Structure 1
């Protein structure tokens, strides 16, 4: 693994918008690496699980023999950040899961898949993110958080419309997840927030 002073942020590159996360990390001067095989996972200090399709991601991770190694690294305390499908992959429980669907887990939350509707119902709206401020939330077939257990910090909720009050960003310890896609905007503050989490863990 890289030194804690200069951590390498891995981006799971099996499916989804992993390239956009790499670009966001590059824009803030963070080191990154694509993670496709178990050996790749050993050379990173943290992992971003991108947006995409959670059932496809689960199946590809299993086929690539990545599922259990990622699950174990997260259980052992590796920082991880999931966006949209990545949030589903970090959740301990899924409502409306596909048959047999499994997740990496780690976050004691329940998420609902495709809670905001189909891709044609995608939308963007301002989000007030605790500790960062207002930013644009891009929602594409997004989940929301149905419930959280004690110790999970709610960082953002929907502030208008029929889904008002729904939880769309959470953190517990080294794990961060958003329903929306910060990698699809030019605002890099959430990536900076996550990289700071990784640095804080390394200096603890």
Structure 2
């Protein structure tokens, strides 16, 4: 029996299941700032209503994306992973450990600086996405905000599309960071 593999899986499952307070605080702050921004945007809305332009809703591309995501969720589920737990991975203790290890290794690891430079965009996307989602909560109450949005012109349709796109972008950013950041020290200790 491979005790290292079993131990590695149980340690990583425990670490990924625990949320990092600093990363969670960054995400929550971004979300709250977005809600405030959306509220200010709503309060300064125009009294003139824009007209809906046909073809701006993007229902068909999103239906294709939704089908692909549903298939991916089935594959992930069959491999024994929990898709919703994976969504929390960017704010997990493991993610925080990997980021800190990569930052600390800039002078000692040959690829750490390059890894950090390539990580700037996905990290920025993970910080910005909760802001954008928050902005849409109150900003979307303005009819002009959703009139030509994907899923618009209704609030519900526009929000479903925006949140779906946000989750997809965050998942892509998290997957890219998973490839870029150095493994956590805990994971490397188990491998040895």
Q: Is the structural similarity TM-score above 0.5?
A: no
Q: Quick check: which one's strand share is greater?
A: 1
Q: How would you bin the TM-score normalised by the shorter chain?
A: under 0.3
Which structure carries more helix by proportion?
2
Larger radius of gyration: 2
TM-score (norm 2): 0.26
